Amino acid sequence: MLIRKPDDVRSSEITDEKLYLDRRRFLGTAAAAAAAVAVSPGALAACEAGGDGGQEDRPNSWEQITEYNNFYEYGTDKESPARLAPRLLRTRPWTVSIEGLCRRPGRYHLDDIVRANRVEDRTYRLRCVEAWSLVVPWNGIPLRALLTRAQPNPAARFVEFTTLLDPEQMPGQRRQVLEWPYVEGLRLDEAMHPLTLLATGIYGRALPAQNGAPLRLVVPWKYGFKSIKSIVRIRFTDRQPRTAWNVSAPDEYGFYANVNPDVDHPRWSQARERRIGEWLRRRPTLPFNGYADQVASLYAGMDLRRNF
Amino acid sequence: MAPSPRAQRVLAALLKPAVWIGGLLPLALLVGAIATGTISQEPIEDLTHRTGKAALTLLLATLAITPVRRLTGWNGIVPARRPLGLFAFFYACLHLLVYLFDQGFAPGYIVEDVAEHPYVTAGFAALVLLVPLALTSTRGWIRRLGKGWQKLHRLVYLAAALGVVHFLWGVKKDLREPLIYAAVLAALLAFRLPQLRKRRAQAKAARVRMESDAQAA
């Protein structure tokens, strides 16, 4: 093990003590929150103490989660991904390239990434921008674990994610419905948030191809399209990434895309949602998809109507 | 150009069953999908899409009767129009019913949705326009309304256009399917343009004649 001399450490790397202590406290709360979420489903109820009218959140069935998917790389309807992805997508071997403003870029085998981290259970609500929702018992590794290991530079402010580009494996990419490859992005603090997950499985089974195998992002307080699938590249950058849906229709899909019942999509309401499997009612949509307690502070002082 | 009398007899015998099979097919497929469990994991959305597309397809089919009649010279196809139109109305009503279920029959949300979201407004307007057409589709009303009946039933063009717009605006990104409907509607309307121009010209000629008659007198 290398022990560095003090003069090896640049001043920019030294955290002042107050911030350091704040950080410890933050990590403490964050870890507690993450742990609380991890022990689902009781914890899920704890997340939403913020007045949802006492609605229950039971995980959706395996079939509901894996046979109704938005994955435009396999077509724009909900059934094609389940039909095509499992036989077309080759998830092994799979490498993820970590690039950009960090000290330890590199290409990593998925197995090494998973082995180096503890896979956790996280049951999250998933709210699609189309006003339907699911509850998914994910398995995965907190994104922050991976990002921290890459040691981002102080200049890094955003993280950009890219899906595989291969029309052979992803026939939907032969049509320019969106700009390919699919790109998503988060602000660094969003990416480092303890709720942000890199999912590798559902219900303890390997992530099905149609759900974004072998590695996908899950950002539970944002609309589903932010949770990019089949990731091959993670890049630290100082500029806000050009994200697929935002580029395609900037007035309809914002960069932040935080779930917000008060800001309608220009063409439809976001006030309520249809939980897959439920009939005859729509649930009220919760600010930040019910995770406001944990994430609202990330956006303190921001106009969420403008930064939708 | 018209089919031979014998062919006409065969076609006439086939027309009614064909219309009924075509009109009931979407319902049969839908019931079949529910019975065999092949309906989507999101049944409400699936039902919404199936009933909406059935309504629009059948509405376009009613608009295709006149072009088919003119192109083939087969006047015997005309009786297919009314049942096709009524089937279209039937599916449009089912579409609305599924929507009302989807909204949990909450009047506040429904009114807001219809008022604030243009694609919902367009669809709702299309259905409202179809109501008087369905009600006046009986022989009795055709007789009672006389010339006015045809005028009233020209609303079907507006209803079909609103239906297509409803589909176009409701789609998130992939416009292929609604554009197919739009293209078919455009073709069916374009087919009527020469006829429309002719009728205009005739009306103008008649007006000019009346005016000159009046001047002469």
| pLDDT digit string, tens, across residues A222-245 | 999 999 999 999 999 999 999 999
Q: What is the mean pLDDT of residues B53-78?
A: 96
Contact A267 B119 (CB under 8 A): yes
Helix, strand or coil, per DSSP, at residue B152: helix
Report pLDDT for B208: 86
Looking at per-residue confidence, does A38 or B182 come out higher?
Answer: B182
pLDDT of A78 over the 80 cut: yes
Helix, strand or coil, per DSSP, at residue A60: coil
Helices B107-116 and B118-135: angle between axes, nearest 10 degrees = 100
- What percent of chain A has pLDDT above 70? 82
Report pLDDT for B130: 98
Whether the link from the prior residue into A142 is cis, omega within 30° of 0, is no
Condensed to tens digits (0 to 9), the pLDDT of residues B117-126 reads: 999 999 999 9
Looking at per-residue confidence, does A59 or B204 come out higher?
Answer: A59
When CB atoms are compared, the residue of B41, B112, B117 closest to A267 is B117
Report pLDDT for A8: 45
Which of B34, B39, B40, B42 to mutate against chain A (most A CBs within 10 Å)? B42
User: Closest Cα of chain A to B120: distance in Å?
Assistant: 9
**Cα–Cα distance list, A8 to A2, A5, A13, A14, A172 (Å):** 11, 5, 10, 11, 50
A235: Cα separation from own chain's centroid: 15
Q: Which residue of B has its CA nearest to A277?
A: B42
Looking at per-residue confidence, does B140 or A39 come out higher?
Answer: B140
Q: What is the distance between the alpha carbons of residues A260 and A245, in angstroms, rounded to a whole number?
A: 17
**Residue ranges per structural domain of chain B:** 5-188
Pair of tokens at residue A195: 């709720």
Among A29-43, A249-263, B173-187, B190-204, the minimum mean pLDDT is found in A29-43
User: Closest Cα of chain A to B102: distance in Å?
Assistant: 6
Amino acid making up residue A47: C
Q: What is the pLDDT confidence band of residue B190, given thresholds at 50, 70 and 90?
A: very high
| Helix runs in chain A, H state only | 17-38, 42-47, 62-66, 80-88, 110-115, 143-150, 188-191, 244-248, 292-295
Pair of tokens at residue B113: 């949705």
Asked whether the beta carbons of B101 and B43 are under 8 A apart, the reply is: no
DSSP category for residue A98 = E
Report pLDDT for A31: 53
DSSP category for residue A280 = S
**Cα–Cα distance list, A47 to A188, A274, A286 (Å):** 23, 20, 11
Report pLDDT for B217: 67
Is A188 in the B-facing interface, judged by CB distances under 8 Å? Answer: no
Q: What is the pLDDT confidence band of residue B207, given thresholds at 50, 70 and 90?
A: confident
User: Closest Cα of chain B to A280: distance in Å?
Assistant: 5
**Residue ranges per structural domain of chain A:** 15-299
Is A269 in the B-facing interface, judged by CB distances under 8 Å? Answer: yes
Report pLDDT for B212: 82
Please choose, from the candidates A298, A294, A261, the residue with its C-alpha nearest in 3D space to the C-alpha of residue A133. A261
Is A263 in the B-facing interface, judged by CB distances under 8 Å? Answer: no
* Reported ipTM: 0.85
User: Closest Cα of chain B to A282: distance in Å?
Assistant: 6
Q: What is the distance between the alpha carbons of residues A225 and A143, in angstroms, rounded to a whole number?
A: 17
User: Closest Cα of chain A to B146: distance in Å?
Assistant: 42
Looking at per-residue confidence, does A119 or B211 come out higher?
Answer: A119
Q: What is the distance between the alpha carbons of residues A134 and A202, in angstroms, rounded to a whole number?
A: 13
Q: Which residue of B has its CA nearest to A66?
A: B41
pLDDT of A35 over the 80 cut: no
φ/ψ bin of A102: left (φ > 0), alpha (ψ from -120 to 50), beta (otherwise): beta
pLDDT of A32 over the 80 cut: no
Residue A98's Cβ-side half-sphere holds a number of Cα atoms within 13 Å equal to 17
Q: Which residue of A has its CA nearest to B46?
A: A78
When CB atoms are compared, the residue of A68, A248, A280 closest to B104 is A280
Name the CA dihedral angle for A47, A53, A58, A64, rounded to a multiple of 10 degrees.
Answer: -110
Contact B42 A132 (CB under 8 A): yes
User: Closest Cα of chain A to B195: distance in Å?
Assistant: 37
Is A307 in the B-facing interface, judged by CB distances under 8 Å? Answer: no
Q: What is the distance between the alpha carbons of residues B133 and B135, in angstroms, rounded to a whole number?
A: 5
Q: Which residues contact B58 (CB under 8 A, 6 or more apart)?
A: B22, B23, B84, B85, B87, B88, B91
Contact A269 B103 (CB under 8 A): no
Q: What is the distance between the alpha carbons of residues A210 and A73, in angstroms, rounded to a whole number?
A: 10
Q: What is the distance between the alpha carbons of residues A136 and A88, in angstroms, rounded to a whole number?
A: 24
The per-residue DSSP string of A134-160 comes to EEEEEEEEEHHHHHHHH-B-TT--EEE
Helix, strand or coil, per DSSP, at residue A132: strand
Phi, psi of A197 (to 5 degrees): -125, 145
Q: Report the relative pairing of strands A158-163 and A205-206 from DSSP bridges.
A: unpaired
Please choose, from the candidates B49, B64, B53, the residue with its C-alpha nearest in 3D space to the C-alpha of residue B180. B53
Q: What is the pLDDT confidence band of residue A30, given thresholds at 50, 70 and 90?
A: low
* A171: exposed, middle or buried (Cβ count in 10 Å: 0-12, 13-18, 19+): middle
Condensed to tens digits (0 to 9), the pLDDT of residues A177-223 reads: 999 999 999 999 999 999 999 999 999 999 999 999 999 999 999 99
Condensed to tens digits (0 to 9), the pLDDT of residues B168-181 reads: 999 999 999 999 99
Contact A274 B174 (CB under 8 A): no
pLDDT of A53 over the 50 cut: no
Pair of tokens at residue A212: 């974004």
Contact A132 B103 (CB under 8 A): no
CATH code assigned to A15-299: 3.90.420.10
Contact A274 B44 (CB under 8 A): yes
Q: Which residue of B has its CA nearest to A270?
A: B113
Report pLDDT for B84: 98
Q: What is the distance between the alpha carbons of residues A160 and A235, in angstroms, rounded to a whole number?
A: 5
